[in-house]
Amino acid sequence: MRIDSDNLLLDFLRWAWVSLIVVIAHIYRKLMGLETRDEVLATMQANFVTQRKEDQERHTAEREEMLNKVDRHHELQMRKLEKLEYRIKNGK
């Protein structure tokens, strides 16, 4: 059985050429700041988590603000009621 050295050499050169292109593409992506698919997915997931946390914090702040408004309104109504009771008791 004879090994065809010309085909082996051509196969090696093809493999070397493709490997060189892959390495150059990888270096180009890194230099240009381009991200791989996994990095993009990780960034998207982190952004989603951050956005959700911000939404929850905003919702909590809005809820607290609404509760504070209700408390202030209740306090004002109680003061008005106390004044009215005082006027009734004192006949004014």
pLDDT value at position 4? 66
Average pLDDT, the chain: 88
- Confidence class for position 74, pLDDT limits 50, 70, 90: very high
Q: How many C-beta atoms surround the C-beta of residue 29 within 10 A?
A: 13
Residue 1 scores a pLDDT above 80: no
- Confidence bin at 41 (pLDDT 50/70/90): confident
What's the pTM? 0.46
Give the pLDDT confidence score for residue 40 in this predicted structure.
77
| Cα angle 58, 66, 60; round to 5 | 25
Query: Can you say how many angstroms the Cα of residue 49 is from the centroid of all Cα atoms in its chain?
Result: 4
Q: Which among 77, 80, 59, 79 is positioned nearest to 69, based on CA atoms? A: 77
Domain ranges of the chain: 1-34, 39-92
